[in-house]
Amino acid sequence: MLNEFFKAAIIINILAATIRIATPLLLAALGELVTEKAGILNLGVEGTMLMGAFIGFLVANKTGSQGIGLLAAILAGGVIGMLMAFMSSTLKVDQVVTGMGINLLGSGVSLFWYRSAYPNFSLSDAALPTITVMEKVKIPFLSDIPYLGPILFSQRMLTYIAFLAVPVVWFFLYHTKFGLLIRGLGENPRAIDMKGVNVTRLQYLATIFGGMMAALGGTFVTLGSTIRFFPEITAGRGWLAIVIVIAGNWQPGRIMVATLLFALLDAFQLQLQGIGVQIPYQILLALPYIFAIIAMMGGRLRSVAPRRLGVPYQRE
Amino acid sequence: MNLLRNYRIEKRSDIGVPAQVLSALVALAVALLVTAILVTVAGGDWKDAFVSLYGGAFGDKGAILESLVRSTPLILTGLAAAIAFRGKIWNIGAEGQFFAGAIGSYWAYLTFEGLPTVLLWMLIFVAGCITGGLFGLLAGVLKAYFNVDEIITTVMTNYIVTYMLALILSGPWKEPGSVYRHTPQVPDYIRLPILASGSRLNLGFLLALLAALLFYYIINKTPLGFEIRALGSNPVASKFKGISVSRTVIMTLLISGAVAGLSGAIELFGSQYRIRMDLSTGYGFTGIIVALLGGLNPLAIIPAGIFFGGLINGSIRMQIITKVPTALISAVQAIILLFLLASQAITRYRIRRIRDVE
């Protein structure tokens, strides 16, 4: 009897953690989806998330306000998105290399800024700067439902936003004129251009949106999860978001499913670590990345990638 | 406005070497300007920072020799990136391959310890190449036969190798009795010979130069080099010329990974003598910037690598004297890369008077 109770508790624990862990991945992946639909392959998601995580932390720590930290991070994400758009849409530079540049920028600037902003910290944990983590928001009535309540409706605000963004992005892309234009950019930018629509402007908007979403996802890694910042705290989540967009076949619904699978894997290994299973935790930590490679191996079956993804549009 | 209408921007048909060098220098100059702003914003004195940075990098003979030591892994990872990038194959995994190479070479040392030193060195280098190369091979095979983008594979293996390294260093190879996660130091006789007494400059630097020459030969004089260049300029045409694209992709990633692995072996036995988590502080990524700053040209990668080696070396003195953190260099690297890309894009165009055109 007691045993049954523990099993149920563990499963609820794992599933609630899955939803939580999915949050930053889902936000970043939905942003990247819109950017890629517009024909821009932004590989700088990791760097953008890291900057979002850092700026969110820094501003929240200095002002004491999570809201201001969140806004500052979104703004930073928008600026980085604009940089990506300027390089790829205006200067028509190679998008792969630009994305790498943005990752290195996020990594370098966050490290430098962190060290400059907190020059006197010692290595002992207690002295490191901290923030308060966002509170969970229990949704009235729904959070009281047995099993489902603690899993789905006792999460942080950003988690609700991330999952609500799935239908919103879907509706925007497939049922608005603006979304149709964005999708057109990835398929046939010349046709969009000939309609008299400003291709560059639209690509800027899509890439800035992607940057903001990535940074928002990044803030969840700090503001939503932990009281301290450390270098490279996003640990490859930005790259996983890119993998998720491919694995989700550039469709919002499937992207959500792919995100949940990755998150479940991560939640599972966290639980295994927690109950002290005799597998080295480093192997467990590497699982999502191994899984990502395996998930990509079915690549031949897919054909829904935007046809002009990563190809700069040149008016001849 | 009328005046402007007389001009138009058009694409240049070809970009000469002087234009490329000029655009790289302009990018460096602008990047330094941004760096000065960054230092000022962070509350430092940019003049002091630059002076101590330069002094620590190239100010005297000792500084120069140490900068060459620091440039050794960067030249090698730069070459690793460049050979793949020449074929428009994106090996972003030099960081993981570097560590894999270090692990492989350390394994070879443990296994073949007691053999004559020269033979042991060769085994160590070969093992480093093989383990680094295996990760390149994995990316190549997955791309050629499973259509998995090599960017994804190489990035993911960076994380996987890092966790495997952490596992090894917390268990089997951990120095007994130490609180740190690192291996014991390798004994004196197996360390690479020092070239200039009183410095740390070692045989590894010469090997890096040799690798650059070898790269130059392979890319310009061998069929494989031709195939890589053809793939980089036009993959569709390559297929029709009878080039096996799959084979070229696999070979290129194998070689690229092997060079990165060799870099790890050389850094381990030439400079740091033990494996630890920060045996590389992002050398694999800096290598990408070194390769691009060198225009993917093996001979230009040498000065580009020395430049970045100098930055890393000089930043230590900069931090001591001016309190500006060494992390500045990580930011500067990315800034240089972005301005380099932008200035190359701008060099591709020129402004002409319409009258001259018609």
Residue of B123, B108, B104, B271 lying closest to B203 (CA atoms) = B271
What span, in angstroms and rounded, lies between the C-alpha atoms of A4 and A84? 52
Residue B1's pLDDT is what? Answer: 44
Q: A170 lies in a domain?
A: yes
* Terminal Cα distance for chain A, rounded: 74
Percent of chain A predicted with pLDDT > 90: 66
A92 touches chain B (CB under 8 A): yes
The total number of structural domains in chain A stands at: 1
The DSSP bridge partners found for residue A137 are A155
Residues 6+ apart with CB under 8 A from B243: B227, B230, B231
pTM for the whole structure: 0.92
* B198 C-beta neighbours (distance < 10 Å), count: 9
The tens digit of pLDDT for each residue in A84-118 reads 999 999 999 999 999 999 999 999 999 999 988 88
Q: Are A108 and B331 in contact (CB under 8 A)?
A: yes
The length of chain B is: 358
Residue of B338, B335, B296, B323 lying closest to B85 (CA atoms) = B296
Q: A95 lies in a domain?
A: yes
Contacts of A235 in chain B (CB under 8 A): 159
For the cut 60, the answer to whether the pLDDT of residue A1 exceeds it is no
CA B27 to the chain's CA centroid: 19
Determine whether the interchain pair B338/A94 forms a contact, defined as Cβ–Cβ distance below 8 Å: no
Determine whether the interchain pair B42/A43 forms a contact, defined as Cβ–Cβ distance below 8 Å: no
For the cut 80, the answer to whether the pLDDT of residue A64 exceeds it is yes
Q: A307 lies in a domain?
A: no
Give A133-183 as a DSSP string. PPPEEEPTTGGGSTTHHHHHSEEEHHHHHHHHHHHHHHHHHHHSHHHHHHH
Q: A211 lies in a domain?
A: yes
What span, in angstroms and rounded, lies between the C-alpha atoms of A57 and A195? 44
Residue B121 phi, psi dihedral angles, 5° rounding: -55, -45
Using 50, 70 and 90 to split pLDDT, how confident is the model at B358? very low
- Unique residue bearing structure tokens 């995580």: A53
What span, in angstroms and rounded, lies between the C-alpha atoms of B248 and B219? 12
| Residue B345: half-sphere exposure toward Cβ, Cα within 13 Å | 19
Ramachandran assignment for A93, one of left (phi > 0), alpha (psi -120 to 50 degrees), beta (any other)? beta
Considering chain B, what is the average pLDDT of its residues? 90
The tens digit of pLDDT for each residue in B18-52 reads 888 888 898 999 999 999 999 998 888 999 999 99
- Unique residue bearing structure tokens 């100098």: B310
* Lowest pLDDT segment from B235-244, B319-328, B348-357: B348-357
Option in B38, B327, B342 nearest A93 (CB)? B342
Contacts of B163 in chain A (CB under 8 A): 282-283, 285-286
For the cut 80, the answer to whether the pLDDT of residue A124 exceeds it is no
**Strand residue runs (E) in chain A:** 136-138, 154-156
CATH number, residue A66: 1.10.3470
B292 touches chain A (CB under 8 A): yes
The tens digit of pLDDT for each residue in B291-312 reads 999 999 999 999 999 999 999 9
Q: Are B249 and B142 in contact (CB under 8 A)?
A: no
Q: A309 lies in a domain?
A: no
Residues 6+ apart with CB under 8 A from A70: A56, A60, A216, A219, A223
Using 50, 70 and 90 to split pLDDT, how confident is the model at B350? low
A58 touches chain B (CB under 8 A): no
The DSSP bridge partners found for residue B7 are B353
Residue B249's pLDDT is what? Answer: 94
What span, in angstroms and rounded, lies between the C-alpha atoms of A224 and A135? 8
* Chain pair A-B, CB pairs under 8 angstroms: 135
Residue A240's pLDDT is what? Answer: 95
Option in A104, A286, A293 nearest B333 (CB)? A104
Task: Measure B35 CA to nearest chain A CA, in Å.
Answer: 11
ipTM computed for the complex: 0.90
Q: A316 lies in a domain?
A: no
What span, in angstroms and rounded, lies between the C-alpha atoms of B351 and A16? 59
Option in A96, A104, A109 nearest B337 (CB)? A104
Q: Are B335 and A105 in contact (CB under 8 A)?
A: yes
Determine whether the interchain pair B152/A243 forms a contact, defined as Cβ–Cβ distance below 8 Å: yes
Determine whether the interchain pair A285/B163 forms a contact, defined as Cβ–Cβ distance below 8 Å: yes
- Unique residue bearing structure tokens 């000029």: B22
Q: Which two tokens stand for residue A101?
A: 């540049």
Q: Are A90 and A200 in contact (CB under 8 A)?
A: yes
What span, in angstroms and rounded, lies between the C-alpha atoms of A195 and A176? 17
Residue A35's pLDDT is what? Answer: 97
Residue B6's pLDDT is what? Answer: 62
B32 touches chain A (CB under 8 A): no
The tens digit of pLDDT for each residue in A287-316 reads 999 999 998 887 555 567 888 888 888 876
Contacts of A87 in chain B (CB under 8 A): 338, 341-342, 345
**Mean per-residue pLDDT, A138-154:** 88
Q: Are A31 and A168 in contact (CB under 8 A)?
A: no
Q: A306 lies in a domain?
A: no
Contacts of B324 in chain A (CB under 8 A): 116
| Residue A170: half-sphere exposure toward Cβ, Cα within 13 Å | 13
**Exposed, middle or buried: residue A128 (CB in 10 Å: 0-12, 13-18, 19+)?**
middle
B36 touches chain A (CB under 8 A): no
For the cut 70, the answer to whether the pLDDT of residue A8 exceeds it is yes
CA B192 to the chain's CA centroid: 21
The tens digit of pLDDT for each residue in A244-266 reads 999 999 999 999 999 999 999 99
Q: Are B205 and B195 in contact (CB under 8 A)?
A: yes
Percent of chain B predicted with pLDDT > 90: 75
More confident residue, B106 or B237: B106
Residue of A252, A239, A243, A234 lying closest to A162 (CA atoms) = A252
Domain boundaries, chain B: 74-292
Q: Are A224 and A49 in contact (CB under 8 A)?
A: no
Residue of B288, B305, B347 lying closest to B22 (CA atoms) = B347
Ramachandran assignment for A66, one of left (phi > 0), alpha (psi -120 to 50 degrees), beta (any other)? alpha
Using 50, 70 and 90 to split pLDDT, how confident is the model at B284? very high
Considering chain A, what is the average pLDDT of its residues? 91
A230 touches chain B (CB under 8 A): no
Indicate the SS3 state at residue A305.
coil
Indicate the SS3 state at residue A12.
helix
**Mean per-residue pLDDT, A225-245:** 93
* Lowest pLDDT segment from A142-151, B152-161, B168-177, B347-356: B347-356
B12 touches chain A (CB under 8 A): no
Residue B350 phi, psi dihedral angles, 5° rounding: -140, 160
* Lowest pLDDT segment from A268-277, B175-184, B221-230: A268-277
Full domain range(s) for residue A260: 2-301
